[in-house]
Amino acid sequence: MSTEQVPAEGASHPTAEQAITDRVNNRSERPSSDAFKAFMTSGWAPRPDLGVAPLAVAPYSAARRRALSGSFPGARLVVPAGGLKVRSNDCDYRFRPHSAFAHLTGLGTDREPDAVLVLHPVAAGTGDDGGDHHAVLYVRPLASRDTEEFYADARYGEFWVGARPTLDDVSVETGVEARHVDELRDALAKDVGEGGVSLLLVEGADEDIAALVDAIRAEAGLSDAAQTATSDDALTEAVSELRLVKDAHEIEQMQLAVDTTIAGFAEIVRNLRRASGHRRGERVIETTFDAHARLEGNAVGYETIAAAGAHATTLHYTTNDGAVRQGELVLVDAGVEVDSLYTADVTRTLPVDGEFGEVQRRVYQAVLDAADAAFAVARPGSRFRDLHAAAMEVLAARLEEWGMLPVPAAESLSPEGQQHRRWMVHGTSHHLGMDVHDCAQARREMYMDGVLEPGMVFTIEPGLYFKADDTTVPEEYRGIGVRIEDDVLVTEDGNVNLSAALPRTPDGLEEWMRSVRG
């Protein structure tokens, strides 16, 4: 497979002078004769009508853009989708747009490399939906069949990667005016600087667009790097905070992601026997879930953790190449990302043979009690940090009871103590959405110190992890790792556990595993 244009036949053959960067195309040669070009660009039937229709998300993404508009009057807001990323030589990774772009356009799956959403400032109240901006999507549209791009451009050409949408298609789907990406530079530069328009960029999405924005600023005499970084930070923070409270469409997509994930956990249980019979049984679990994610959704939302036995005590274990042994637990942390790019993030710790041992059950129950304590405070008016505090109170008390804490639980829970965190060094909750760790650029006062509101979605995921070589715990606990992770929606008067359909009590899990295995 090649993903770059191959050199034309008759072009000079590789020599010692050929630049290293040009050598990725050395495997084949494309004919360059006029006869070939004429033949390639003719003889194609008219394109069928693809029946492109407005996306169901379009009114929601319009409302999100409108909300953003109000915070940045007079500023041109630049939201790149990002570009294709090289995996090696001329092979790219599968494309996934930046979440801010997907959120504000409604485009998901692999759409659209190199596209940029721009909110152009207009006179107050005269913009889209009565806002202060007019949105334009700059995209690389489908090239006509009389162009070389059609058959010769391995990165973007229809012959290589399939037909791209036209400008009209994009506009009909998103409800946003669509223009050719070639117009982007002039559109960004218009009235910047002395014309009174400032340019704000969502950071971390596209280095090429960041360089373009910098160049335009420099040409306009806006070279105060500290000032521009502050402005870009403000926009990056705003698009992240915009996702803290999910709208109805997002909540529906989150539930879809969770339901699809739960079906993936059932697939895992159906394959547990195969896993315990394979030398790399953790890979059986990983690939069972990942295949399901790709079949029923867009992808996994993050690398699947399939951690059997003591591997479960390594928090971000993704090597997944170990054996899955009877009598042990296997911790599975996995989430399906659906086509709209919302992802679930669910963990269950399963007994490989279908039944918890006594110590395993004891540890599991402590983690479950900690999770339930966090659920009990997950309601409007609580602070985000209260979730963690509630879970830690339970775990510290249980660790004290088991004689593991070197100090009383109360002392451990004080800021000066925290000894209980030896066995759970991660946080209890994070916001969840298009990114598994969603809203990560939000301000502390909006996130960790923020007050819970209806529409927020986050995880509750306490755990206990006793490493195999931890001499501070009794031997019977060593090598046991348990995490229980659910996805939670705050409602007007409490919360809904979106992942409640996947049992989470020890008895419930055992019963569910029996019924799934049949």
Q: Which of 322, 374, 368 is nearest to 349 (CA)?
A: 368
Q: Where are the beta strands (DSSP E) in 81-227?
A: 86-88, 91-92, 116-121, 133-139, 177-180, 198-201
- Is 462:371 a contact under the CB 8 Å cutoff? yes
The verdict on 95 binding ligand GLY (CB under 6 A) reads no
Cβ closest to ligand GLY, residue 96 vs residue 430: 430
CB-side neighbour CA atoms (13 Å) of 518: 4
Distance CA 233, CA 202 (A): 8
The verdict on 60 binding ligand GLY (CB under 6 A) reads no
Distance CA 490, CA 378 (A): 7
Partner whose binding site includes residue 438, from ligand GLY, Mn ion, none (CB under 5 to 8 Å by kind): none
CB-side neighbour CA atoms (13 Å) of 184: 22
Cβ closest to Mn ion, residue 143 vs residue 315: 315
| Interaction mask 375-414, ligand GLY, x per CB under 6 A | ----------------------------------------
Helix (H, G, I), strand (E, B) or coil at 167: helix
The verdict on 435 binding ligand GLY (CB under 6 A) reads no
Distance CA 278, CA 256 (A): 32
| Interaction mask 112-131, ligand GLY, x per CB under 6 A | --------------------
Distance in Å, CB of 490 to ligand GLY, minimum: 18
Cβ closest to Mn ion, residue 25 vs residue 288: 288
Q: Which residue has the tokens 């007007």?
A: 492
Cβ closest to Mn ion, residue 286 vs residue 345: 345
Strands 133-139 and 177-180: parallel
The verdict on 302 binding ligand GLY (CB under 6 A) reads yes
Q: Which two structure tokens, joined as six digits, stand for 261?
A: 């994930």
Distance in Å, CB of 126 to ligand GLY, minimum: 43
Q: Which two structure tokens, joined as six digits, stand for 28?
A: 């084949």
| Contact residues for Mn ion, defined by CB under 5 A | 333, 345, 459, 485
Binder of ligand GLY out of 6, 116, 436, 482 (CB under 6 A):
436
Distance in Å, CB of 463 to ligand GLY, minimum: 9
Partner whose binding site includes residue 302, from ligand GLY, Mn ion, none (CB under 5 to 8 Å by kind): ligand GLY
Cβ closest to ligand GLY, residue 246 vs residue 430: 430
Distance in Å, CB of 489 to ligand GLY, minimum: 17
Distance CA 509, CA 456 (A): 27
Residues 448-467, interacting with ligand GLY (CB under 6 A):
461
- Is 335:302 a contact under the CB 8 Å cutoff? yes
Q: Which residue is nearest to ligand GLY (CB)?
A: 333
Cβ closest to ligand GLY, residue 299 vs residue 436: 436
β-bridge partners, 337: 299, 343
Q: Which two structure tokens, joined as six digits, stand for 324?
A: 């899955």
- Is 177:201 a contact under the CB 8 Å cutoff? no
Distance CA 518, CA 513 (A): 8
The verdict on 259 binding ligand GLY (CB under 6 A) reads no
Partner whose binding site includes residue 107, from Mn ion, ligand GLY, none (CB under 5 to 8 Å by kind): none
Distance CA 38, CA 42 (A): 6
- Is 284:274 a contact under the CB 8 Å cutoff? yes
Residues 464-503, interacting with ligand GLY (CB under 6 A):
485
Cβ closest to Mn ion, residue 78 vs residue 502: 502
Distance in Å, CB of 440 to ligand GLY, minimum: 11
Cβ closest to ligand GLY, residue 259 vs residue 345: 345
Sign of the CA dihedral running 27, 33, 36, 41: positive
Residues 321-360, interacting with ligand GLY (CB under 6 A):
333, 345
Distance in Å, CB of 265 to ligand GLY, minimum: 14
CB-side neighbour CA atoms (13 Å) of 450: 19
Largest CA distance in the chain: 85
Distance CA 141, CA 167 (A): 6
Cβ closest to ligand GLY, residue 179 vs residue 430: 430
Cβ closest to Mn ion, residue 189 vs residue 374: 374
Partner whose binding site includes residue 337, from Mn ion, ligand GLY, none (CB under 5 to 8 Å by kind): none
The verdict on 286 binding ligand GLY (CB under 6 A) reads no
Distance in Å, CB of 430 to Mn ion, minimum: 6
Interface with ligand GLY by CB under 6 A: which residues?
302, 333, 345, 430, 436, 461, 485
